[in-house]
Amino acid sequence: MVEKMEIDHNPGHTGPRDDNAQRLLGLFVALVPAVGIVYLVAVVALSEEPMLRNVGVFATVCVALGALALLRNKRSAGAAQVLVWGSWLSLHLQIFISNGLASRSLMALPIVIMMAAWLLPPRSAIALSVATVLSGLVLALGEQAGLLPLYDAPSPPLLVWLASSTYIVLASALAYYIFRGFRLRHEALRRSEEKFSVAFRSGPMAMSITRLSDGCCLDINDAFVGLLGWRREEVIGRNALEIGKWLAAEDRQAWARELSQSGRIANRESRCRTRSGVLRDVQMTSVLIELDGEPCALVLASDITERKRAGEKFAKVFHASPEAITISRLRDGLYLDVNEAFVEQIGWLREEVIGLTENDIGLWPSKADRQRWVAQLRQQGRVKSYEASLNARNGKRHTVLISAELFDLEGEQCVIGMLYDITEQEATRKEIRQLNSELEKRVQERTAELQSANKELESFAYSISHDLRAPLRGIDGFSHLLADEFGERLDAQGRGYLERVRRAAQQMGTLIDDILDLSRISLQEMRRMEVNLSQIAAEMIEERTRTELGHRIEVIIAPECTAFGDPQLLRVLMQNLLENAWKYSSKEASPKIEFGRETLDGETVFFVRDNGVGFDMEYADRLFAPFQRLHKPEEFEGTGIGLATVARIVRRHGGRVWAESEPGKGATLRFTLGVPSENGQ
């Protein structure tokens, strides 16, 4: 398992800096007293040497016991300092009271320096080495000057000091570089393990380390806890099957065999069960590692439950869609998948087309056609309703609208496209265009015929105006002269016959005028503008009142009843409606005429109402037909053209006209004028 190390971020720290140093310090503080006590016991038992000459060894034992006490109180830095410097001073005391530079204790100083190199910072070890050399020089000079006892030695004190100092310096340097290299490697390993530990603990993917042999969980990270819901202390030491990491033992055994053979399994999908019993879909990448000589598995897992559900939903929509859908590679059109609608439309089976390109099955009429489509797709990232011709397997060409969008699939640009078959619609549109062309031709022919008929009508109207008016004027004129010059010679019956001839001629003239007016309305070009119908009504009533001074009538005209239409035609319309109301209300004791405007079903409707004789609604369909009258000529004069003229003007404006009445209760004539087009027509 990953070895944990304590990191001290205090720059003033002077003690052990990792767990190994801590363990070594514990070993030293336990071993030094034991060795010292054994040495003292051996001296007492085997030598006659006085105990006073071994007081330095006793002091070393006491120093080590003091360091042990500090270590037990978790004061490792102080324990290291006491052990190293205390041992150094105790050894110097032992050297001083024993044989000086010839003392055996001098050989233990390199061991203390090695302890300093491992337990203390490098500067402390160097300082200790320098202090050792200088202390030896002081002893040598003291012995040489006779200030200290000179023990039996094979060489002069300074030479012994030089030799021992050389040994100490070389031993210290060797120890320093050995321990320094070891410490650097150990520090690099510690940092690497620390980085792995941080990455392992805080990684966004669920990670676990298990023994390959039995599936025992050695460690998990926080993301694993979030995935399965188990706490770390609940998982470590338990089998992967027990915590639901695997649903079946045989699945784990097959995975373990494959991992032990290949060393790595990437992106393997599996199912696991959370602590609450919910099944989750995961994607695992497993790597074979070795911990303490035993094969283990480092497993990284990500939850793909939602992604897999979304994929299943997409697959259902994809295959059930009534429109043909394809997924293909952009660069060469290689089919990755097609749905059933594509099979029905194009004719290739799904298992036949997957793995082939669009050019392989001859989908596009030419490679250039596909290249143009791909170029537009690359430029815009998507296309909508791109019209193209595609070949079916049976050779039939389909006209389709393609809507497609680019997406990335495992680093490869791919296309999802929908084909909407408009072959039948296109054929229908072609047929409609042909029918429209024929209809337009017929309209042109009919227009030419109407223009010809209008010319004939104009010619007929001219003929009526000139050829028929002259005889009528002659009949009326000569009848008038006959009555004036020879009236006395005629009896009453003769004079009555002349009067009837004159009235018939005048009525015939009026009828001709009405027919001409009706024909002109159909031929006259319309020019729409805003027209004040209230003002027209007021002017006509005023004019009619001046001509019939003795006729008293009540007139109500709503103000500002404006309409959008041809002013000349609307004046004719108002004239006919008002004269109609005036005529049929003239025999009432208190005649009344009303003009106004109202809104019916959101539409503006104008009306002219009178309180005259009215009519039976059973004959309303004859009211607006030419030459149709609902009253006898001797009751009310007229030609039956006036309301037909009104109806024709209303129709030319795109409106409607209708009447409501009861016999003896007057009549109401309503009309609309439609909505003008943008050009005012």
> DSSP string of 228-278?
H---HHHHTTSBTTTTTS-S-HHHHHHHHHHHHHHSEEEEEEEEEE-TTS-
- Cα gap 105→96, rounded to integer Å: 10
Least Cα distance to 98 among 148, 162, 164 occurs for 148
Q: 415: pLDDT confidence band, cut at 50, 70 and 90?
A: very high
The full set of domain ranges for the chain reads 19-197, 203-307, 321-421, 427-505, 527-671
Alpha-carbon span 102 to 109, nearest angstrom:
13
What is the per-residue pLDDT for 679?
Answer: 45
| pLDDT tier for residue 1 given thresholds of 50, 70 and 90 | very low
Task: Spell out a b/e string for 173-190, using b for 16 or more CB atoms within 10 Å of the CB, else e.
Answer: eebbeebeeebeebeeeb
pLDDT, tens digit (0-9, with 9 covering 90-100), for 448-499: 877 777 676 666 666 666 666 667 777 777 777 777 777 777 788 887 777 7
pTM above 0.85, yes or no: no
Strand order in the sheet with 279-291: 217-220, 206-211, 294-303, 279-291, 264-273
Query: What tokens were used for 87?
Result: 């041992």
Name the pLDDT band for 9 (thresholds 50, 70, 90). very low
Residues β-bridged to residue 628: none
Q: Which residue has the tokens 């060795």?
A: 35
Q: What pLDDT does residue 5 have?
A: 33
CATH superfamily of 527-671: Histidine kinase-like ATPase, C-terminal domain (3.30.565.10)
Q: What is the pLDDT of residue 630?
A: 63
- Within this chain, domains 203-307 and 527-671 share the same CATH topology: no
Token representation of residue 419: 């084909």
**Cβ–Cβ < 8 Å for 362, 370:** no
Which of the residue ranges 37-46, 335-344, 356-365 would you say has the lowest mean pLDDT? 37-46
**What's the pLDDT score for residue 392?**
92
Question: What strands, in cross-sheet order, belong to the sheet with 382-391?
Answer: 335-338, 324-329, 412-421, 397-409, 382-391
Per-residue tokens: 5: 């190390």
Residue 346 is encoded by which pair of tokens?
């194009």
pLDDT of residue 146: 67
Q: What pLDDT, on a 0 to 100 scale, did the predictor assign at position 612?
A: 87
pLDDT of residue 627: 63
Please check whether the domain covering 321-421 is classified as CATH 3.40.50.2020. Answer: no
Highest mean pLDDT among 18-27, 165-174, 308-317, 375-384: 375-384
Q: Counting runs of H as helices and runs of E as strands, what totals does the chain give? A: 19, 17
Answer whether 640's CB lies under 8 Å from 624's CB: no
Whether residue 79 contacts residue 71, with contact meaning beta carbons closer than 8 Å, is answered with yes
- When pLDDT is cut at 50, 70 and 90, the band that residue 518 belongs to is low
Q: Taking each helix axis as running N to C, give the angle between helix 423-463 and helix 492-523, from 0 to 180 degrees, rounded to the nearest 10.
A: 150
Please answer whether residues 252 and 241 qualify as being in contact, where contact means their C-beta atoms are separated by less than 8 angstroms.
yes
The secondary structure of 275-328 as a DSSP string is: TTS-EEEEEEEEEEEEETTEEEEEEEEEE-HHHHHHHHHHHHHHHH-SSEEEEE
Average pLDDT of the chain? 80
Task: Report the candidate in 346, 352, 297 with the shortest Cα–Cα distance to residue 323.
Answer: 346
Alpha carbon distance 591, 581 (integer Å)? 10
Query: What is the per-residue pLDDT for 118?
Result: 73
What CATH number is given for 203-307 in this structure?
3.30.450.20
If one compares 296 and 487, the residue with the highest pLDDT of the two is 296
> Once rounded to an integer, what is the mean pLDDT over residues 591-611?
92
Instruction: List, as one string, the DSSP characters of 4-29.
Output: P------TT--S--SHHHHHHHHHHH
